[in-house]
C-alpha cells in the first residue's frame, strides 16, 4: 500500500507525534491529509498549512464519522495521555481514550476505510516482567498473561484487541505498533504531561540559566528505558502501516540506558555538571523496560537506530531555544 496517493486521516494531529506525521506525509507527496485534534489550533504542536485541519472531539461518535468520511487510511493517535507523572495520576482520563478508539473503528468500518493504524504502547506489557532494571527486552508475546500498566496500559491493550476483532469480523485491515518512549523537538516539555527526555532537558536548561546547578530526578535514577527519536518513530509508523504485519509489533529503540545515564547525556550536551537529588515518592513507572526488535527486523529489515546522544542533542537544542526565547521576549 502506498500512502501518498490515498486520502489520509491523522487523529491526534495536534499532538507531538501526530504533528510530525502530518508534516512527513505532506513532504512525501500526499495530496489529501486531514488533520484532526480536540485542542484549539493555537495549542497544536504543529499546524501544517497543506493539510485540512479540523478541531473535533473524537470521543464523540458523530465527530469520528465526520472525520472518517471520504478517507481510505486512518492513523488513530488521539489519546488523553502524557508522561508517567500524568498517567499514574489520571487513570480514568487515560481509559476514556477507549471512546475515541471505539468510535473511530466504527466510523472507519462504515466509511470504507482500507487500513487503520493504531498507536499502542509498551505500557501494555506484563508488569511482572519489568520489576528489575536489568530486565530482558520485551517481546511482543510478553503482553500476555495480561498485567499492563494500570489505567493507560489496560486501555491500550483492550483497544489492540478491538483492532484484532474488527479485522476478523469486519475485514477492516488494522496495523498496531507498540511505541516505546518517543522524544524529540516540538514536543511537550512542561506542564505535567512531558516525558523523561523532555523533562530532563528542561531541568538542565533551568539549572544552567539560573546558576543553581541542581536537578531533581524521579525515583532512584537506576530505572532503565529505551528512548526512540521522533524521526525513527515516523519512519516506523509509515512502514508498518504499509506492510502486511497483522499482529501488534514493537516500535522502539533497543538502546537501553538508566535515567541517571540519560541525565549524564544531557549534562554533557549542555556542558554542565549538576548535583542530583532523588525524589523516591514521585511517579517512576516500572523498574526496567526495553524493546526486543527481533520481529520488526524480520518483517521490515529495519529497526529504530538513531543514537540517543544524537537525538537528545537536537531535542535539548530545541527546548533550550524555546525557554531562552521567553526570557528575552
Q: What is the CATH number of domain 184-225+256-288+307-328?
A: 3.90.25.10
User: Can you give the pLDDT at residue 63?
Assistant: 98
Q: What is the CATH number of domain 3-182+228-251?
A: 3.40.50.720
pLDDT classification of 329: cutoffs 50, 70, 90: low
CB burial of residue 183 (10 Å; 0-12, 13-18, 19+): buried
User: Can you give the pLDDT at residue 258?
Assistant: 96
Q: Note the pTM of the prediction, 2 decimals.
A: 0.96
Query: Closest by alpha carbon to 104, among 179, 12, 169, 41?
Result: 12
| Distance in angstroms (rounded) separating the CA atoms of residues 171 and 162 | 12
Query: Closest by alpha carbon to 80, among 152, 184, 16, 136?
Result: 152
| Distance in angstroms (rounded) separating the CA atoms of residues 34 and 159 | 23
User: Can you give the pLDDT at residue 250?
Assistant: 98
- Strand ranges for 126-255 from DSSP E: 173-179, 182-183, 214-218, 224-226, 228-229, 249-251
User: Can you give the pLDDT at residue 221?
Assistant: 95
DSSP track, 124-150:
GS-GGGSSSTTPPPBPGGGG-S----T
Instruction: Delimit the domains of the chain by residue range.
Output: 3-182+228-251, 184-225+256-288+307-328
Residue 120 · residue 160 · CB < 8 Å: yes
Helices 97-110 and 61-68: angle between axes, nearest 10 degrees: 40
Mean per-residue pLDDT, 91-115: 97
Quick check: 42 pLDDT over 90? Answer: yes
Q: Could you tell me the three cell numbers for 236? A: 516506523
Quick check: 119 pLDDT over 90? Answer: yes
**Where in the sequence numbering do the catalytic residues fall?**
152
Mean per-residue pLDDT, 258-266: 98
Amino acid at each position: 500500500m502506498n500512502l501518498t496517493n490515498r486520502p489520509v486521516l491523522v487523529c491526534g494531529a495536534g499532538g507531538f507525534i501526530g504533528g510530525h506525521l502530518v508534516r512527513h506525509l505532506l513532504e512525501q507527496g500526499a495530496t489529501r491529509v486531514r488533520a484532526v485534534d480536540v485542542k484549539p489550533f493555537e495549542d497544536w504542536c504543529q499546524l501544517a498549512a497543506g493539510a485540512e485541519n479540523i478541531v473535533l472531539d473524537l470521543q464523540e461518535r458523530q465527530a469520528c464519522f465526520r472525520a472518517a468520511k471520504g478517507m481510505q487510511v486512518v492513523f488513530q493517535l488521539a489519546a488523553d495521555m502524557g508522561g508517567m507523572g500524568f498517567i499514574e495520576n489520571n487513570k480514568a482520563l487515560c481509559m476514556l481514550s477507549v471512546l475515541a478508539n471505539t468510535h473511530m473503528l466504527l466510523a472507519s468500518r462504515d466509511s470504507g476505510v482500507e487500513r487503520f493504524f493504531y498507536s499502542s504502547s509498551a505500557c501494555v506489557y506484563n508488569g511482572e516482567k519489568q520489576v528489575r532494571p536489568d530486565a530482558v527486552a520485551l517481546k511482543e508475546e510478553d503482553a500476555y498473561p495480561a498485567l499492563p500498566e494500570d489505567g493507560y496500559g489496560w486501555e491500550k491493550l483492550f483497544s489492540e484487541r478491538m483492532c484484532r476483532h474488527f479485522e476478523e469480523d469486519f475485514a477492516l485491515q488494522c496495523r498496531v505498533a507498540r511505541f516505546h518512549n518517543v522524544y524529540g523537538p516540538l514536543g511537550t516539555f512542561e506542564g505535567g504531561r512531558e516525558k523523561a527526555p523532555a523533562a530532563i532537558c528542561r531541568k538542565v536548561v533551568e539549572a544552567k540559566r539560573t546558576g543553581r546547578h541542581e536537578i531533581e530526578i524521579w525515583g532512584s535514577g537506576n530505572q532503565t528505558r529505551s528512548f526512540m527519536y521522533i524521526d525513527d518513530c515516523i519512519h516506523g509508523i509509515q512502514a508498518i502501516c504499509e506492510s502486511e504485519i497483522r499482529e501488534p509489533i514493537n516500535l522502539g529503540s533497543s538502546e537501553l540506558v538508566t535515567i541517571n545515564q540519560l541525565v549524564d547525556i544531557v549534562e554533557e550536551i549542555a556542558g554542565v555538571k549538576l548535583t542530583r537529588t532523588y525524589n523516591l515518592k514521585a511517579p517512576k513507572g516500572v523498574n526496567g523496560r526495553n524493546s526486543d526488535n527481533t520481529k520488526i527486523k524480520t518483517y521490515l529489515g529495519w529497526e529504530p537506530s538513531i543514537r540517543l546522544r544524537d537525538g537528545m542533542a537536537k531535542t535539548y537544542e530545541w527546548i533550550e531555544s524555546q525557554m531562552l526565547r521567553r526570557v528575552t521576549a
